[in-house]
C-alpha cells in the first residue's frame, strides 16, 4: 500500500504527464536516518562508561544500528538499548568480519561502508565522517582528516609542529600500546618549549577536535604531546578507548587518572569545530 507521500507524488506526476517515482525510491525516502557522527561518538564513549548511560544525541541512531545487528542474529535483544557498549562493539566487529574486514577495519568502530551495508532497507546514513587517504606530512604518515586538523591547529598557534610519531604505525613504539596502529594518532615533539607553550599546544589541538595530553617523565615518558583525532573512523581500539576516556574526563593512560590537560568546553570533533 502506498504511503500518503507516495500517493501525492504519484498524483502530481500524473498531472504533469511524467512517470511516477518508483516505489523503491519512495520507500528509501521514508527510511529513518542514522547519524554516523552520533554513532561514532557513542562507540568511543559508551564502552568506557562504568554504567549503561547514553551518549547525548546518539540514542536514536544507535538504536537503528543495534536493531539491524539484532536482526542479523549478532546482538541479543537485551542490548538493543541505545547504549553502544562492549556487547554492541563486539557485535559490530562480528558484522565487519562477515564482510571480510580484518585488523582495524574490524575493530567494532563503525565506518561509512559497513554502516550503509548494515542499514540496507532499514535506515539511511547521514552526517558521514571520512578519514580520507593516507599521506605524509611533516615526514610522518597520517590521513587527510588528521592533516587538516593539524594544519588548523598550527594556524591557531602561529607555528609548525614537529611530529615524532604518526598514524598507521603498528608495533612502531612499544610505549604507545597500539594507539598508533590505526589512524588519527600523533605524537608531537616539544623540545625547546616552555611548560606554558606545551599546554597551549595541547589546548589548541583540543579546540580543533583532538584529545591531547602533555606526557611527562613522571608518567614514564619523555616530554611530548600525545593526540588522538576524535571520531576518526580508522582509530585503533587503543586510540578509540583514549578518545572515550577524554570525553569522560580521564587522562588516556592505563590507570585512568583524572584529565591533566587544559580544559576546553565543549569538547568538539573536527566536524563540530568546522560548523562553529
Tell me what pLDDT residue 2 has. Answer: 40
Residue 258 lies in a domain: yes
Q: Are residues 120 and 156 in the same domain?
A: no
pTM of the model: 0.89
Tell me what pLDDT residue 28 has. Answer: 56
Domain end call among 80, 108, 126: 126
Tell me what pLDDT residue 241 has. Answer: 97
Residues 20, 25, 30, 35, CA torsion sign: negative
Domain end call among 94, 126, 158: 126
Q: Are residues 221 and 258 in the same domain?
A: yes
Q: Are residues 142 and 89 in the same domain?
A: no
Residue 8 lies in a domain: no
Q: Are residues 96 and 148 in the same domain?
A: no
CA distance 268 to 206: 8
Q: Are residues 162 and 231 in the same domain?
A: yes
Digit-coded pLDDT (tens) for 53-88 = 999 999 999 999 999 999 999 999 999 999 999 999
Tell me what pLDDT residue 177 has. Answer: 75
Residue 153 lies in a domain: yes
Confidence of residue 23 (pLDDT cuts 50, 70, 90): low
Tell me what pLDDT residue 66 has. Answer: 98
pLDDT at 239 over 90: yes
CA distance 97 to 89: 12
Confidence of residue 20 (pLDDT cuts 50, 70, 90): very low
Percentage of residues in the chain with pLDDT exceeding 90?
86
Residue 77 lies in a domain: yes
**Count of structural domains within the chain:** 2
Confidence of residue 22 (pLDDT cuts 50, 70, 90): low
Residue 94 lies in a domain: yes
pLDDT at 178 over 90: no
Residue 202 lies in a domain: yes
Burial 99-110 (b: 16+ CB within 10 A, else e): eebeebbbbbbb
Q: Are residues 193 and 234 in the same domain?
A: yes
Tell me what pLDDT residue 7 has. Answer: 36
* Lowest mean pLDDT segment, chosen from 132-146, 175-189, 219-233: 175-189
- Whether the CB-CB separation of 46 and 5 falls below 8 Å is answered with no
Q: Are residues 54 and 118 in the same domain?
A: yes
> What cell numbers appear for 101 in the block?
574486514
Which residue would you say has higher pLDDT here, 137 or 25?
A: 137
pLDDT at 213 over 50: yes
- List the domain range (segments joined by +) for residue 188: 134-275
Q: Are residues 116 and 195 in the same domain?
A: no
200 Cβ neighbours under 8 A, 6+ residues apart: 157, 262
Q: Please confirm whether the linkage preceding 266 is cis (ω < 30° from 0).
A: yes
Digit-coded pLDDT (tens) for 118-145 = 999 999 999 999 999 999 999 999 999 9
Write out the H or E segment, with its range, that includes residue 65. helix 59-71
- Whether the CB-CB separation of 190 and 214 falls below 8 Å is answered with yes
CA distance 24 to 126: 19
Q: Are residues 159 and 265 in the same domain?
A: yes
Q: Are residues 93 and 60 in the same domain?
A: yes
Digit-coded pLDDT (tens) for 192-210 = 999 999 999 999 999 999 9
Residue 3 lies in a domain: no
Q: Are residues 267 and 176 in the same domain?
A: yes
Domain end call among 110, 126, 142: 126
Residue 21 lies in a domain: no
Question: Closest by alpha carbon to 167, among 191, 209, 138?
Answer: 138
Confidence of residue 173 (pLDDT cuts 50, 70, 90): confident
Q: What is the mean pLDDT of the chain?
A: 91
**Residues 208-216, mean pLDDT to the nearest whole number:** 98
Q: Are residues 113 and 148 in the same domain?
A: no
Tell me what pLDDT residue 252 has. Answer: 97
Question: Closest by alpha carbon to 192, among 183, 205, 201, 203?
Answer: 201
- At residue 165, what are phi and psi to the nearest 5 degrees? -155, 130
pLDDT at 183 over 60: yes
C-alpha distances in Å from residue 45, one per residue of 10, 40, 108: 45, 9, 13
Amino acid at each position: 500500500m502506498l504511503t500518503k507521500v507516495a500517493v501525492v507524488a504519484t498524483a502530481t506526476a500524473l498531472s504533469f504527464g511524467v512517470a511516477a517515482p518508483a516505489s523503491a525510491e519512495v520507500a528509501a525516502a521514508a527510511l529513518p536516518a542514522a547519524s554516523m557522527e552520533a554513532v561514532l561518538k557513542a562507540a568511543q564513549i559508551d564502552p568506557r562508561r562504568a554504567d549503561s548511560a547514553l551518549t547525548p544525541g546518539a540514542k536514536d541512531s544507535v538504536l537503528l544500528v543495534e536493531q539491524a545487528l539484532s536482526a542479523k542474529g549478532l546482538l541479543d535483544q537485551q542490548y538493543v538499548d541505545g547504549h553502544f557498549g562492549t556487547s554492541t562493539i563486539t557485535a559490530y566487529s562480528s558484522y565487519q568480519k562477515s564482510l571480510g574486514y580484518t585488523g582495524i577495519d574490524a575493530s567494532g568502530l563503525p565506518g561509512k561502508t559497513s554502516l550503509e551495508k548494515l542499514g540496507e532497507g532499514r535506515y539511511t546514513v547521514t552526517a558521514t565522517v571520512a578519514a580520507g587517504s593516507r599521506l605524509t606530512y611533516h615526514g610522518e604518515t597520517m590521513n587527510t582528516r588528521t592533516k587538516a586538523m593539524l594544519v588548523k591547529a598550527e594556524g591557531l598557534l602561529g607555528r609548525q609542529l614537529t611530529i615524532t610519531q604518526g598514524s598507521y604505525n603498528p608495533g612502531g613504539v612499544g610505549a604507545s600500546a597500539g594507539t598508533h596502529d590505526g589512524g588519527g594518532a600523533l605524537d608531537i615533539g616539544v623540545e625547546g618549549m616552555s611548560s606554558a607553550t606545551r599546554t597551549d599546544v595541547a589546548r589548541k589541538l583540543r579546540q580543533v577536535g583532538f584529545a591531547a595530553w602533555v606526557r611527562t617523565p613522571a608518567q614514564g615518558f619523555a616530554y611530548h604531546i600525545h593526540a588522538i583525532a576524535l571520531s576518526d573512523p580508522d582509530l585503533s581500539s587503543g586510540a578509540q578507548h583514549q578518545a572515550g576516556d577524554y570525553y569522560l574526563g580521564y587522562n588516556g593512560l592505563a590507570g585512568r587518572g583524572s584529565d591533566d590537560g587544559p580544559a576546553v568546553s565543549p569538547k568538539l570533533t573536527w566536524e563540530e569545530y568546522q560548523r562553529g
